[in-house]
DNA sequence: TTGAAAGCGGTACCAT
DNA sequence: ATGGTACCGCTTTCAA
């Protein structure tokens, strides 16, 4: 009774050598059996002995040792931005992770903690990822790409506003969204357009190009575009609403549906009629927009799905030389409801 | 011109041996210099030569080789549930990741893809994580914990509804939330309480205990509690609203603010007065609740922060024998606005 | 101050 | 059908 109750108290992690010893075979044989190596025939009794020994010891292979020997990993590195960005985006990331898991990759999220692009790339390269998938906002320079590729990355894929030299870069242009919003407002006859610019740090990566898109579309048509900074907070919205009439705007593109809801409420509380006095359009087509009164017009964004992107990663990993994808990654389309 | 333009075209990843060769020193010296090993003095000229050689070759150490040698990793494994669960939760996860990064851990998200608890634990153990942090909903059995600990995990921490044998488990009780909501409704004099149960798969992990909490509090006080399944979708909400009066309820706890908004809109469209005919309370204290009319009463949830949890992980890793944390991890408090 | 060498845990080639 | 063994890249005694 005073003895070790179970072998589970053993303090050492069993290795394949332990399994081999217990089964009375060599480490090679253990490896063959446990990996079902096709190129070698092992007798059924031996297989059983090995399996039982492994089971009994609770043997678990050591991923690092394995990939050291193999010379490559199945790690897909996902550099992560610090800011959490909306329900749409986090759903996308989640989807992506699961799709990658399903393809048997190990997903490593890796924030770069204020390291500059190249130092970050070096830190990532230490893990010898087979692929790096950089999703917007993360600096990745051509040199960084070089480092990663030299360290064995088969696929370096960026998803962002511009092409990155050396990487397989999917250009997703946020300007499209602002452009569709502006286009819609113009069609409805509005000419003095405000554009909400979230003050939350990190979002400028999205808001700036959206503003630019709105400008590109509106200004040539003779409309004016005015950026309006706004924090995601009731007080800020009320303050903006209080000076609204002085701004002389007849419409506003509110970055996304959440900011639109915030602003719309403040405007309504100030007695500003929507859409009569000011039209409001959001983006993302969230359910909440349909629940507002008036129902919120919005820009629906069709992003590439996580599944699709995971497949792309896999394809590039298998055939790094393949031609870069050139599909459109994002479609955007205005949806008229009642607020415009 | 037809030659290799830069050394970057070399196909092999430089190792510390390459650096040693170029610097004219041994691999040991390279290791000493690059790691600033304190226990050994290397002359300044040598240091420089090594550093320059490393720089020139673009040397990046191999994390797997290092941790194989070291016998341990800095990996914190985060088993991930498939379902994305609300803005609060994803913010929490994000915070946690960053806090762990700041403490120099490598965060690996790992979905278990339909493996059962023990098989999943085995898969996780392959990575030899120094810590495993299981956040609710992920099955982790006592045997799984054993496997992980034997594989070298210093900390196996679970955050969930119940204690897991062998793990350092932080019990966070979702019932508290339902209980606070019910308590608030009772205080305001309501007695026939509906509880919205999201139909989205995965959320039952949260909604069931919240319902149980509401029951525990309401029924002893002579109130009735009626669960009401609802999909996150306008049509479903309208259908529920259409049969609302037949249900004979005077109040409803709507799982969280988002479902509350959905339901409230449908009830209002049906001409049901809030709170006069039916009171509504949500949970999570999202901004959107304050933007509704009437303003939405809610249950504010004070979860442990990501930073705090990361510190706990670090503490347990450093001192695995330490006494289990016993702080309350979640506070919940009803916030009255206008909908109750 | 520096170098030689053992060894971490697997895998796969070459013998037997 | 199985075993011996070199090797993946790095760290860390131990000697010189």
For residue B230, the tally of other CB atoms under 10 A from its CB is 22
B5-10: long-range contacts, CB 8 A cutoff, minimum separation 24: B7/B57, B8/A146, B8/A150, B8/B58, B10/A150
For residue A166, being part of any structural domain is answered with yes
A273 in reach of chain B (CB within 8 A): no
pTM score, whole prediction: 0.91
Instruction: Look up the CATH number of the domain holding residue B294.
Output: 3.40.50.2300
**C-beta atoms of B60 and A125 within 8 A:** yes
| Model pLDDT for residues A236-295, shown as the tens digit of each residue | 999 999 999 999 999 999 999 999 999 999 999 999 999 999 999 999 999 999 999 999
For residue A243, the tally of other CB atoms under 10 A from its CB is 10
A291 in reach of chain B (CB within 8 A): yes
Which strands make up the sheet holding A106-111, listed edge to edge? A168-171, A155-160, A131-135, A75-80, A106-111, B106-111, B75-80, B131-135, B155-160, B168-171
For residue A108, being part of any structural domain is answered with yes
Residue A94: list chain B partners with CB under 8 A: 80, 82, 84
Mutation target for A interface from B59, B291, B295, B306: give the one with most A CBs within 10 A.
Answer: B291
Over residues A49-53, mean pLDDT? 97
The pLDDT score that the predictor gives to residue B327 is 67
User: Do B180 and B256 fall into the same domain?
Assistant: yes
User: Do A188 and A203 fall into the same domain?
Assistant: yes
The pLDDT score that the predictor gives to residue A329 is 78
User: Do B186 and B165 fall into the same domain?
Assistant: no
B115 in reach of chain A (CB within 8 A): no
Report the candidate in A113, A107, A174, A163 with the shortest Cα–Cα distance to residue A140. A163
- Of the given ranges (A8-17, A42-51, B42-51, B308-317), which has the lowest mean pLDDT? A8-17
For residue B340, being part of any structural domain is answered with no
| Residue-by-residue DSSP string for A273-320 | -TTTT-EEE-SS--HHHHHSSSPPBEEEEEEPPHHHHHHHHHHHHH-T
User: Do A122 and A225 fall into the same domain?
Assistant: no
User: Do A266 and A205 fall into the same domain?
Assistant: yes
Residue A150: list chain B partners with CB under 8 A: 8, 10, 13-14, 58
Mean pLDDT by 10 residues, chain B (340 residues): 35 90 97 95 96 96 98 95 80 92 94 85 97 85 94 93 88 94 98 97 92 98 98 98 98 98 98 98 97 98 93 95 74 97
For residue A106, being part of any structural domain is answered with yes
User: Do A154 and A263 fall into the same domain?
Assistant: no
| Model pLDDT for residues A137-151, shown as the tens digit of each residue | 677 899 999 999 999
For residue B34, being part of any structural domain is answered with yes
Instruction: Give the distance, in angstroms, between the CA of residue B116 and the centroid of all CA atoms in the same chain.
Output: 20
User: Considering its fold, how many domains does chain B have in total?
Assistant: 3
User: Do A278 and A322 fall into the same domain?
Assistant: no
| Model pLDDT for residues A70-110, shown as the tens digit of each residue | 999 999 999 988 776 788 888 899 899 999 999 999 999 99
* Tally of CA atoms within 13 A in the half-sphere of B269 that contains its CB: 21
For residue B66, being part of any structural domain is answered with no
User: Do A82 and A126 fall into the same domain?
Assistant: yes
For residue B338, being part of any structural domain is answered with no
How far B147 CA lies from chain A's nearest CA (Å)?
A: 7
- Which of B61, B82, B98 corresponds to the end of one domain? B61
Burial A315-325 (b: 16+ CB within 10 A, else e): ebbeeeeeeeb
User: Do B160 and B248 fall into the same domain?
Assistant: no
Residue nearest to nucleotide C9 (CA to C1'): A65
Partner residues linked to B332 by β-bridges: B301
Instruction: Look up the CATH number of the domain holding residue A33.
Output: 1.10.260.40
CA of A39: nearest nucleotide by C1' is: C12
User: Do B136 and B280 fall into the same domain?
Assistant: no
Look up the domain containing A34 and give its range.
12-61
Structure tokens at B14: 């430089």
Enclosing H/E stretch for B96: helix B86-102
User: Do A231 and A244 fall into the same domain?
Assistant: yes
For residue A274, being part of any structural domain is answered with yes
With CA atoms as reference, the chain A residue closest to B127 would be A63
User: Do A84 and A157 fall into the same domain?
Assistant: yes
């Amino acid at each position: 009774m005073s003895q070790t109750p179970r072998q589970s108290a053993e303090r050492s992690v069993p290795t394949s050598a332990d399994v081999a010893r217990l089964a009375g075979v060599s480490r090679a044989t253990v490896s063959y059996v446990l990996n079902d190596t096709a190129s070698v025939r092992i007798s059924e009794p031996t297989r059983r002995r090995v399996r039982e020994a492994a089971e009994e010891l609770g043997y678990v292979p050591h991923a690092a040792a394995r990939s050291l020997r193999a010379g490559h990993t199945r790690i897909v590195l996902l550099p992560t931005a610090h800011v959490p960005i909306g329900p749409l985006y986090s759903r996308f990331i989640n989807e992506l992770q699961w799709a990658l898991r399903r393809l048997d990759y190990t997903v490593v999220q890796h924030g770069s903690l204020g390291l500059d692009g190249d130092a970050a790339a070096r830190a990532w390269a230490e893990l010898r990822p087979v692929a790096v998938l950089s999703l917007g906002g993360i600096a990745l320079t051509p040199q960084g790409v070089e480092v990663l590729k030299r360290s064995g990355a088969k696929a370096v894929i960026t998803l962002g506003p511009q092409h990155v030299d050396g990487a397989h870069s999917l250009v997703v242009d946020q300007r499209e969204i602002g452009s569709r919003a502006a286009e819609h407002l113009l069609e409805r006859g509005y000419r003095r357009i405000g554009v909400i610019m979230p003050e939350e740090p990190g979002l400028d990566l999205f808001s700036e190009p959206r503003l630019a898109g709105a400008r590109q579309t509106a200004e040539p048509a003779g409309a004016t575009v005015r950026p309006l900074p706004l924090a995601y907070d009731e007080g800020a919205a009320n303050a903006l609403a209080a000076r609204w009439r002085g701004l002389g705007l007849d419409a506003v593109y509110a970055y996304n549906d959440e900011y639109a809801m915030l602003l719309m409420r403040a405007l309504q509380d100030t007695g500003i009629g929507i859409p009569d006095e000011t039209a409001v359009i959001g983006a993302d087509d969230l359910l909440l927009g349909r629940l507002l009164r008036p129902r919120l017009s919005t820009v629906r964004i069709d992003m590439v799905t996580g599944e699709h992107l995971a497949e792309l990663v896999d394809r590039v990993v298998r055939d790094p030389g393949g031609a870069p994808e050139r599909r459109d990654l994002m479609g955007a389309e205005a949806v008229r409801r009642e607020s415009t």
